[in-house]
Amino acid sequence: MSTTCTTATAVITRIERELRTDSGLALDLPPRLLDREFGQGKVVRFEDVDFPMTLTHEPTRRFLSETGLPEDSFLFHLDTDLPLPTLAEYCTEADWVTELPDRPDHLIRLGNLTEDNSLVVDGTTGAILAWSEPEAILHPLTTDISMLAFALWLLQPETDDDNVDELFMFHNGTRFWPPSGIFSMTKDTEAFVNQVFEFGADAEMRFSLRDDESPLGSDSLGFVDISRTESNGEHTGDFEGGEGGSYTLTYRVGDLDL
């Protein structure tokens, strides 16, 4: 598996958490999140005729129909030749002689991930996997289509049109609006920040990082100040107390319709 694909898998794995949601997927994303990030007309929504019969996971079908996926993003290029092929059909049409994984008719190819890696969805469970074409190996990537879409949004490079108007916070997979910006982090976890800001151009928002696994219960790890003029960034450090470990605060700022 390529280094780029391995890096993408690591990023997605770090943000993945199990949640109970209305959609039946890991995350309930804002309806226009992808449209605002990638642009109207650049997010593809599917119809029932575009799905093979083996795509029976209803939350995945609904997400692809109502929310869709970006046609072209930083790591992923959607297959726009409809209907979506199964992995078996794709390999047959490409005239590849390769060993296929179990149940290839139940693996639906969504597009190219990176460097000869196909991104597929399990039609029964909704799990997202990466198929390494040269190695003929199937790698688990993330829980479902909502986590994939969130990762594509998070990894999308900033543009000049992005601004710092509305933000929300993801911490351990949960979206919330902490009034003080103070939250606890267990070791080796990440927090993804986006919360509503209403302050002057030079103001900053301060987040207090706390180690909730330390012997003292909640040792402060210091502060991270995020300026309104910043569009994104990352702050990484090590726990000073408790069992040690590291923490990462990754913040991404954009104009969102929440």
Per-residue pLDDT averaged across 250-254, rounded? 43
Residues 44, 81 share a domain: yes
pLDDT of residue 221 exceeding 90: no
Residue 164 within any structural domain of the chain: no
Q: What is the pLDDT of residue 19?
A: 43
Residues 136, 16 share a domain: yes
- Which letter does DSSP use for residue 187 in this model? T
Residue 258 within any structural domain of the chain: no
Write the pLDDT tens digit of every residue in 2-31: 554 555 555 444 444 444 467 788 888 877
Last residue of a domain, one of 155, 178, 193: 155
Say how many domains are in the chain: 2
H or E element at residue 153: helix 145-155
Q: What is the pLDDT of residue 50?
A: 95
Residue 194 within any structural domain of the chain: yes
Average per-residue pLDDT for the chain: 66
Residues 147, 204 share a domain: no
Write the pLDDT tens digit of every residue in 121-149: 999 999 999 998 888 889 888 889 998 98
Tell me the percentage of the chain whose pLDDT exceeds 70: 51
Residues 208, 145 share a domain: no
Residue 157 pLDDT grade (very low, low, confident, very high; cuts 50, 70, 90): low
Q: What angle do CA 36, 131, 50 make, to 5 degrees?
A: 55
More confident site: 174 or 74:
74
More confident site: 76 or 74:
76
Range of 218's domain? 169-252
Residue 120 pLDDT grade (very low, low, confident, very high; cuts 50, 70, 90): very high
Q: Are the C-beta atoms of residues 186 and 156 closer than 8 Å to each other?
A: no
Write the pLDDT tens digit of every residue in 167-206: 334 433 444 333 333 344 444 444 444 333 333 344 444 4
pLDDT of residue 46 exceeding 90: yes
Last residue of a domain, one of 155, 178, 197: 155
Question: Exposed, middle or buried by CB within 10 Å (0-12, 13-18, 19+), for 160?
Answer: exposed
The CA-atom distances, in angstroms, between 90 and each of 23, 120, 133, 155, 159 are 29, 11, 11, 27, 34
